């Protein structure tokens, strides 16, 4: 659907040049709408695959039949229309039965696909486990864009009906035109969020971890400067932050491996006990080191959780002593 909309937008932007080249006024407008209708048909098939594991042959035939019927109806209405002598910006200015059929066929196909898109996205969002921020944001934005798009189609159809009944339909048409960019923007943001949200989420989590570990890291590096390695990270903000966090983790562990520990109280938490044992300033030749008091971990996440717990205990003791 996204590709067909892009193609249709290109055709519409260059419609005057295309019509002059083909010597057929308003032909590019027809091609643009036919392209979107084809995209809507493919969208209905794709949405069906999201709702079920397989798409029955009968459903595929049904989607194809509806799409082809809409294409034939629009093409026939356009060919029979009485507006081929000049370019028309708004078909409502030359409203006729042919124009009404042409517009209603297109809007019906568009409305059905938008309604199906909103229903599918909201349904998947309600049943999701809400563990993937990118997909959650994307589904909500695309569903909202579908509802706004459906409102645009309804306003356009209402404008057509009012105009055919000799009433003023310009206000409804203008309201639909004003909502259209908002719906398009929401849909675009929803698609882009699949790429942007994971990056921003990772950046946020990495920065929070970096800020949590920094006070403990600074204290240990000041005490054991031999563990610190001067390095200049390269790349974008996330890459530099990830590099800094990784170096921080390595240097904290290196410092804990050489940091001697003295006696520590048994009636406090493990993290606080380790920090207190480090802060007692035992002799450097002690046989026991801070790393020996850490729990055995099976993964990098477990190591990081332990370090964040140590950093939290260090912050509490540091504030209590200051």
193-209 pLDDT tens trace: 878 888 888 899 899 99
Give me 75's structure tokens. Answer: 């093409």
pLDDT of residue 283: 54
pLDDT of residue 65: 92
pLDDT of residue 48: 87
DSSP per position, 139-192: HHHHHHHHHHHHHHHHHHHHHHHHHHTTS--HHHHHHHHHHHHHHHHHHHHHHH
Distance in angstroms (rounded) separating the CA atoms of residues 284 and 317: 22
pLDDT of residue 301: 78
Task: Spell out, as residue ranges, where the chain has pLDDT lower than 70.
Answer: 1, 127-131, 262-268, 280-286, 318, 320-322
Model pLDDT for residues 250-305, shown as the tens digit of each residue: 998 888 888 887 666 666 677 777 777 777 665 555 577 777 777 777 777 788 88
pLDDT of residue 130: 60
pLDDT of residue 131: 66
pLDDT of residue 266: 62
């Amino acid at each position: 659907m996204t590709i067909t909309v892009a193609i249709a937008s290109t055709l519409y932007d260059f419609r005057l040049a295309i019509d002059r080249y083909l010597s057929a006024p308003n032909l590019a407008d027809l091609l643009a709408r036919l392209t979107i209708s084809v995209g809507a048909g493919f969208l209905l098939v794709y949405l069906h695959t999201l709702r079920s594991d397989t798409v029955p042959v009968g459903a595929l035939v049904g989607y194809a039949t509806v799409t082809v019927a809409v294409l034939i109806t629009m093409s026939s209405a356009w060919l029979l229309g009485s507006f081929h002598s000049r370019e028309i910006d708004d078909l409502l200015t030359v409203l006729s039965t042919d124009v009404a059929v042409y517009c209603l066929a297109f809007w019906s196909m568009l409305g059905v696909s938008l309604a199906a898109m909103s229903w599918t996205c909201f349904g998947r969002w309600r049943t999701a486990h809400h563990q993937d921020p990118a997909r959650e944001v994307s589904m909500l934005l695309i569903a909202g864009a579908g509802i706004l798009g459906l409102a645009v189609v309804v306003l356009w159809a209402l404008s057509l009906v009012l105009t055919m009944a000799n009433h003023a339909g310009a206000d409804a048409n203008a309201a639909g035109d004003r909502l259209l960019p908002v719906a398009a923007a929401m849909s675009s943001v929803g698609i882009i969020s699949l790429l942007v949200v994971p990056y921003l989420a990772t950046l946020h989590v990495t920065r929070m971890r970096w800020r949590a570990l920094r006070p403990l890291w600074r204290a240990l590096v000041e005490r054991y400067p031999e563990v610190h390695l001067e390095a200049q990270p390269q790349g974008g903000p996330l890459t530099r932050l990830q590099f800094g966090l990784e170096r921080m983790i390595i240097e904290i562990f290196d410092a804990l491996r050489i940091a001697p520990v003295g006696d520590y109280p048994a009636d406090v938490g493990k993290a606080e006990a380790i920090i207190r044992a480090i802060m007692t300033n035992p002799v450097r030749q002690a046989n026991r080191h801070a790393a020996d008091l850490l729990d055995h971990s099976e993964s990098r996440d477990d190591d990081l959780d332990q370090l964040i717990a140590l950093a939290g205990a260090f912050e509490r003791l540091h504030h209590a002593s200051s």
